[in-house]
Structure 1
Amino acid sequence: MDISLLEKTDDNFLQLLREHGCTVNRVCYMYAGCVEDYEDMRQETYVNLWRGMARFRGESDVRTWVYRVALNSCVSFFRRNRRADAHTPLSALTDVADDGCNRNELISEMHRLINRLDHVEKAMILLWLDGYPYDAIADVMAMPRNTVASRLKRIKEKLVRYSEE
Structure 2
Amino acid sequence: MSEDFYIKYIVPHKGIIIKLCRAYTDTEFDFEDYFQEVCLQIWKSKDNFKEQSKWSTWVYRITLNVCMTMLKKQKKHTATNEIVQNDLSTESEAFNNEELQLLYKAIRQLPEVDKAIIVLYLEDKSYKEIADVSGMKVSAVGARINRIKTKLKTIIYGK
Q: TM-score, normalised by structure 1?
A: 0.77
Q: Which residue identity is paired with 1:56? A: F
Aligned length: 148
Looking at structure 2, the residues matched to 113 and 97 of structure 1 have their Cα atoms a distance apart, in angstroms, of 22
Looking at structure 2, the residues matched to 16 and 103 of structure 1 have their Cα atoms a distance apart, in angstroms, of 27
Q: Is the 8 A contact 1:20 1:63 kept in 2?
A: yes
Q: Does 1:106 align with 2:99?
A: yes
Q: Which blocks of at least 5 consecutive residues in structure 1 are unaligned?
A: 1-7, 85-94
SS of residue in 2 equivalent to 1:81: helix
* Aligned twin of 1:44: 37
SS of residue in 1 equivalent to 2:147: helix
Query: Which residues in structure 2 correspond to 1:122-137 (within 5 Å)?
Result: 122-137=115-130
* Aligned twin of 1:144: 137
Q: Is the 8 A contact 2:34 2:66 kept in 1?
A: yes
Q: Which residue identity is paired with 2:29? A: E
Q: Does 1:63 align with 2:56?
A: yes
Query: Which residues in structure 2 correspond to 1:10-49 (within 5 Å)?
Result: 10-49=3-42
Larger displacement relative to structure 2 (148-157 or 18-27) = 18-27
Q: Is the 8 A contact 1:22 1:101 kept in 2?
A: no
Q: Is the 8 A contact 1:125 1:152 kept in 2?
A: yes
Looking at structure 2, the residues matched to 134 and 57 of structure 1 have their Cα atoms a distance apart, in angstroms, of 22
Q: TM-score, normalised by structure 2?
A: 0.80
Aligned CA-pair RMSD: 2.5
Q: Which residue identity is paired with 1:48? A: Q
User: What whole-Å deviation, never above 9, does each CA across 1:102-143 have from its counterpart, x for those lacking one?
Assistant: 963322222122122111111110011111111111111111
Looking at structure 2, the residues matched to 28 and 156 of structure 1 have their Cα atoms a distance apart, in angstroms, of 20
Looking at structure 1, the residues matched to 123 and 102 of structure 2 have their Cα atoms a distance apart, in angstroms, of 17
User: What whole-Å deviation, never above 9, does each CA across 1:48-73 have from its counterpart, x for those lacking one?
Assistant: 10011122122222222211111110
